[in-house]
Amino acid sequence: DTEVTQTPKHLVMGMTNKKSLKCEQHMGHRAMYWYKQKAKKPPELMFVYSYEKLSINESVPSRFSPECPNSSLLNLHLHALQPEDSALYLCASSFDRQRGSYNEQFFGPGTRLTVL
Amino acid sequence: DAKTTQPTSMDCAEGRAANLPCNHSTISGNEYVYWYRQIHSQGPQYIIHGLKNNETNEMASLIITEDRKSSTLILPHATLRDTAVYYCIAYVLWAGNQFYFGTGTSLTVIP
């Protein structure tokens, strides 16, 4: 299985809602990532988890809360979002930073989030 | 991480080779050059990477100049399905797993 899955594919939420995005991989990867991508822009790194521990937070607002319950699963909890948070949220995974040059990231298809 | 610069857009005739340039003049000795592409509204897809030597796989070839200040991704026989945004990334191993995407090149393959 060389796939990263993300659910849901689409999500519409109000500014007072709490929702979660889910990402799953079964490739034995130990690094997982969240990216945010606005229309016609490149993906922007948000968070990096390495061995289930948060290793990088790119100054993301606290209304985005990541969670890595185990090595296969990555969640992004959303609360009190703003309309400008509407974007494609991409999850990715890779072996780990010690793997050497074979460390390409595998991306999921993304969750299209709309905040009303 | 080194900044990469790429042309905003390019066209290529179907069946011809698509040559996508990337400038990374500030690249350091331990930074790899990675290429990804993103077909509309899908997740980015890994294509190829290299450090110093030219590389080839089933999807593409990567030509890196001797001074490593630039590289070219070559799709040998472009098809309509190769229409996508192509990202060149300079990536330091061992220093964290973060990719910083540049603005990318939007490649349109024309029938």
- For chain B, the DSSP string reads ----B--SEEEEETTSPEEEEEE-TT--TTEEEEEEEE-TTS--EEEEEESSS-EE-SS-EEEE-TTSSEEEEEETT--GGG-EEEEEEEEETTS-S-------EEEEEE-
CB-defined contacts A:B, below 8 A: 64
Residue A113 pLDDT greater than 70, yes or no? yes
Instruction: State the average pLDDT for chain A.
Output: 91
Residue B2 pLDDT greater than 70, yes or no? no
Share of chain A above pLDDT 70, in %: 93
State the pLDDT at residue B54.
94
Which has the higher per-residue pLDDT, A98 or B13? B13
List of chain A residues whose C-beta atoms are within 8 Å of the C-beta of residue B99? 43, 45, 105
State the pLDDT at residue B106.
97
Residue B100 pLDDT greater than 60, yes or no? yes
Kind of pairing between the strands at A10-13 and A111-115: parallel
State the pLDDT at residue A100.
56
State the pLDDT at residue A98.
58
Query: Of the candidates A58, A88, A100, which has its C-beta nearest B93's C-beta?
Result: A100
Residue A74 pLDDT greater than 70, yes or no? yes
Query: Average pLDDT for residues A8-26, to the nearest whole number?
Result: 95
Report residue B27's pLDDT band, with 50, 70 and 90 as the boundaries.
Answer: confident
Distance from CA of B107 to the nearest CA of A (A): 14
Residue B73 pLDDT greater than 60, yes or no? yes
Query: Average pLDDT for residues B83-92, to the nearest whole number?
Result: 90
Nearest residue on chain B to A50, judged by CA atoms? Answer: B97
